[in-house]
A and B are shown apart, each in its own frame.
Chain A
């Protein structure tokens, strides 16, 4: 049914050719994501997470399959979703403010208008006073915030986050997770979030897709029914622990199979 989902990835397969050998990065994978959901994708390396994101972002085309945004095909079209990689990729010659407005600038907005849109976000989400600093003057967590604000400000309805907190220490990571949940609650975007971290996936998500590697394919989908708003206490609840156990088992299977090959 059209319109039921914000984003539909239908039977996507991606085959790369390397030295004449075919390599299946993603096999017959489908995801159906309703509007406003926080969806995590979890799986070991080689499960095709990045391939999937690159397809959604329109940077590469699937060998087979469809990608629908609001029921419309967006294969090979970039600019529909906000995409953030693990590296913050702030441009070092631009100040934080100039970095945050980059997406709007590419879209062609007027400079003053872009800044007027960016400043409230910068102020509200913890970068006040750093507008005119260069990225190398900020800590890892701050840089990540700036990169996220750049993605959010781009004003796409869907945001792809590829392990955005992977390089942060545990404490900063928890802080950033809460920060992200705040933004998500405020702005009601649909978020796709790639992570290796089971706790992070459960803590943040409504749905978790588990992918398995070689070839990358969808293994299962788990719905997280923990109440929101969540906090550190959530991680101690019985439901949380049960979910974690389930995911651990799923991923353990994965590793066992992997070693059997």
Chain B
């Protein structure tokens, strides 16, 4: 994305060329300065809204309008969180969930992209596979969680697999859309240069489909996280999902809230990292063509 440079200073605009004396000078405001001010205002608004929300939550639970047994309160969550972090297993759980998510996300993205791109090789094969891909995409993968845990055990593998399944088909469909949008003349150009099919694949098909794959990353990281957590809900020794389930069973709502907040933060961090990766890739590939 390119930033527009602001117009600085003044510009005189002659409205009526026959009567020069009537020319009007219009002051053009500095767009850059305006945008900075605007951005500051927005940032201030965003922070205040968050702060207001937390303060309101705290106050309402303190004065008893909200029952603190169910709703906990920001300060209690902080205290419980600190204890869980320093004396409990929160750090290990966070690590477990993150790693399961990231491995599932990466595997799902690469294998899904490979699957979608492979459809370019043979229209016959792609036409046979497409309905199955769409059908499998509409299967609620999370509903498979109990089977997967029975099949793969309560360990790490079942969490990664669930995260992977959440991602792989979505990515395959995205990559396939990219393949379908390739300009056939570009392929023709490469063939006219004497390119082999493999060269066309590497030099045209993959880069041409990249914007589609890249745009699926943001959705995929959230999907992978959901997969990992549900896997932990079903049966697990570690993970934030297991911690929440356990806290719920012993009616420790404060700890449930700690888990929810921890997951939210994890999800935000992963989202930001994904955006960064996306920007990096987009720039290298000149995606905003």
What residues make up the interface of A, taking CB atoms closer than 8 Å to B?
57-59, 78-81, 83, 85, 87, 89, 91-94, 102-103, 105-107, 134-136, 154
A78 in contact with B286 (CB, 8 Å): no
The CA-CA distance from A59 to B200 in the complex, in Å, is: 14
In the complex, residue of chain B having the shortest beta-carbon distance to the beta carbon of A83: B192
Taking a contact as CB atoms under 8 Å apart, the answer to whether A103 and B204 are in contact is no
Which residues of chain A are within 8 angstroms of B287 by Cβ–Cβ distance? 93
CB distance from B42 to the nearest CB of A (A): 30
Taking a contact as CB atoms under 8 Å apart, the answer to whether B194 and A92 are in contact is no
Question: Which residues on the B side are within 8 Å of A105 (C-beta)?
Answer: 203
Cβ 8 A contact of A59, one of B188, B207, B285: B188
Q: Is the CB of B195 within 8 A of A134?
A: no
B80 CB → nearest A CB, Å: 50
Task: Choose among A58, A80, A92, A106 the residue that contacts B286 (Cβ–Cβ < 8 A).
Answer: A92
Apart from A85-B185, A89-B185, list 17 A-B contacts with CB within 8 A: A59-B191, A59-B192, A78-B194, A83-B189, A85-B188, A91-B203, A91-B204, A91-B207, A92-B289, A93-B286, A93-B289, A94-B207, A102-B193, A102-B203, A106-B194, A106-B195, A106-B203
How many contacting A-B pairs (Cβ < 8 A)?
60
Q: Complex: how many Å from CA A151 to CA B188?
A: 14
**Across the interface, do A134 and B289 meet the contact criterion of CB distance under 8 Å?**
yes
Nearest chain B residue, comparing its CB with the CB of A89 = B189
Q: Please state if A106 and B190 are interface contacts (CB–CB under 8 Å).
A: yes
Query: For residue B210, which residues in chain A have a CB less than 8 angstroms away from its CB?
Result: 93
CA distance in complex: A93, B282 (Å) = 9
State whether the Cβ of B38 lies closer than 8 Å to any Cβ in chain A.
no
Confirm or deny: B67 has a beta carbon within 8 angstroms of a beta carbon on chain A.
no
Cβ contact of B186, chosen from A58, A78, A91, A154, cutoff 8 A? A91
The size bracket of the interface on B is 20 to 34
Q: How far is the CA of A110 from the CA of B287 in the complex (A)?
A: 27
Residues of A within 8 A of B207 (CB): 91, 93-94
* Complex CA–CA separation, A103 to B194 (angstroms): 8
CA distance A94 to B204 in the complex (A): 10
Given contacts A78-B192, A79-B194, A103-B193, contact A87 B203 (CB under 8 A): no
Complex-state Cα separation, A48 to B208, whole angstroms:
30
Instruction: Pull 18 A–B residue pairs with CB atoms less than 8 Å apart, ordered by A.
Output: A58-B192, A59-B192, A78-B191, A81-B192, A83-B193, A85-B185, A91-B208, A92-B289, A93-B210, A93-B285, A93-B286, A102-B193, A105-B203, A106-B193, A106-B199, A107-B194, A135-B289, A154-B193
- What is the CA–CA distance of A55 and B132 in the complex, to the nearest angstrom? 39
In B260-286, which residues have CB < 8 Å from any A CB? 285-286
Q: Which residues of B contact A (CB under 8 A)?
A: 183, 185-186, 188-195, 199, 203-204, 207-208, 210, 285-287, 289
Secondary structure class of chain B's binding surface, majority of residues = helix
- Look across to chain B and name the residue whose beta carbon is closest to the beta carbon of A57: B192
A105 to B196, CA, bound (A): 12
CA distance A59 to B189 in the complex (A): 10
How far apart are the CA atoms of A87 and B186 in the complex, in Å?
Answer: 10
CA distance A105 to B186 in the complex (A): 15
Residues of the A chain whose Cβ atoms lie less than 8 Å from the Cβ of B286: 92-94, 134, 136
Alpha-carbon separation in the docked complex, A59 to B208 (Å): 22
A92, A107, A136 pick with most chain B CB within 10 angstroms: A92
For A93, the chain B residues whose CB sits under 8 A away are 207-208, 210, 285-287, 289
B211 CB to closest chain A CB (Å) equals 9
Which residues of B have CB within 8 Å of A81?
Answer: 192
Q: A106-B203, A134-B286, A136-B289 are in contact. Are A85 and B189 (CB under 8 A)?
A: yes
List residues of chain A with CB within 8 A of the CB of B194: 78-80, 106-107
User: In the complex, A217→B191 CA distance in Å?
Assistant: 26
| With known contacts A92-B289, A93-B286, A134-B286, A87–B185 Cβ distance under 8 A | yes
Q: Least Cβ distance of A191 to chain B in Å? A: 15
Task: Report, nearest first, the 5 A-B pairs whose CB atoms are least far apart.
Answer: A79-B194, A83-B192, A92-B289, A134-B286, A93-B285
CB distance from B134 to the nearest CB of A (A): 28
Chain B residues contacting A59 (CB-CB under 8 Å) are: 188, 191-192
Q: Which chain A residues border B195 with CB–CB below 8 Å?
A: 106
Q: Which residues of B contact A85 (CB under 8 A)?
A: 185, 188-189
Which of B210, B285, B289 lies at the interface centre, i.e. has the most chain A CB atoms within 10 A of its CB? B289
